[in-house]
Amino acid sequence: MTLQSILPPERALFDVPGGSKKRVLEFFSTFIAQNTPSLDSQEVFSRLIGRERLGSTGIGHGVAIPHARNAHCKAPLAGFLKLAEPVDFDAVDGEPVDLVFVLLVPEEADDTHLALLAQVAGVMNDAETRQRLRRCESQRQLYETLIEAIERQDDAAPPAAP
């Protein structure tokens, strides 16, 4: 399973209003529930905020990777938000966050969940990718830049064992 397969263009959101970590997670929860009939926005939000209580998903350099399991999520799905203004996300480096990559996975998707998180972290840990994403001026440009970065990382990854 690849990030490209779970991140369609309409889930790369440009210039999203921030305000606070809670508001960003509420925005995504409402957005994803409107576009995925099996998901309830309150449940998605509750799962994401519950995960944040365990420890911030702000990984540093202005990036957060909120993620959660959800019993009503039939297959992994992702969303990417470029915030209009950075927000405090209690990140490990104390820096505010403006790039948010959200992952939702089925309740039982252990290995898939970890593999997808590792892919996201690999993409978002690249300084050049973060700079390019921050320079984007449209939703389309944001999506294309993100997919290019994912493909570059996939090309650089060692082949999977048979």
The catalytic site residues sit at 67
Residue 119: closest CA among 103, 130, 132:
103
Residue 81: closest CA among 151, 136, 156, 148:
136
Q: For residue 9, what are the CA distances in angstroms to 5, 81, 118? A: 10, 12, 21
CA atoms within 13 A on the CB side of 111: 1
Residue 112: closest CA among 154, 137, 148, 77:
77
Token reading at 161: 């064992």
Provide DSSP, 18-57.
Answer: -SSHHHHHHHHHHHHHHH-TT--HHHHHHHHHHHHHHS--
